[in-house]
Amino acid sequence: MSVGDIAGLLAAAAFLILVGVLAVPLVKLGRVLDTASDSLRDVTEHTLPVIDEAAQTVTTANGQLAKIDTMTTAAAETTQNISAMTSLVAATVGAPLVKAAAFSLAVRGFFRKDRGR
């Protein structure tokens, strides 16, 4: 064996040791990536049902809000109708009552003057 052969064997041995030393962190990195992939898969499996349930809840809430909107509109219309009815009753009954009160006041005043003589 010549010096070149020995140098080649030493270089090959050094390269083999280097590959062995670098293989350990690469294997550990592979395990870390596998664990991260598994964790991501678990999170995805648990998150998707929660998102579906939240979407269902929002849909139900929107339906309830539509019903409440209908009820609020009906209540507003009823309030307007009652207000209009109150104004109508006040205008219809109020004016004659004021006239009757004025008439009764005048009659009372007349009888008081008559008693005073």
- What are the pLDDT digits (tens) for 15-65? 999 999 999 999 999 999 999 999 999 999 999 999 999 999 999 999 999
Distance CA 89, CA 92 (A): 5
The answer to whether position 34 is within a domain reads yes
The answer to whether position 88 is within a domain reads no
Distance CA 12, CA 6 (A): 10
The answer to whether position 110 is within a domain reads no
Q: What is the extent of the structural domain holding 31?
A: 1-83
The answer to whether position 114 is within a domain reads no
| Residue 111, helix vs strand vs coil | helix
Domains: count for the chain = 1
pLDDT band at 117 (very low <50, low <70, confident <90, very high): low
The answer to whether position 75 is within a domain reads yes
| Direct distance between the N- and C-terminal alpha carbons of the chain, in angstroms, rounded to an integer | 162
pTM over 0.85: no
DSSP state at residue 2? -
The answer to whether position 57 is within a domain reads yes
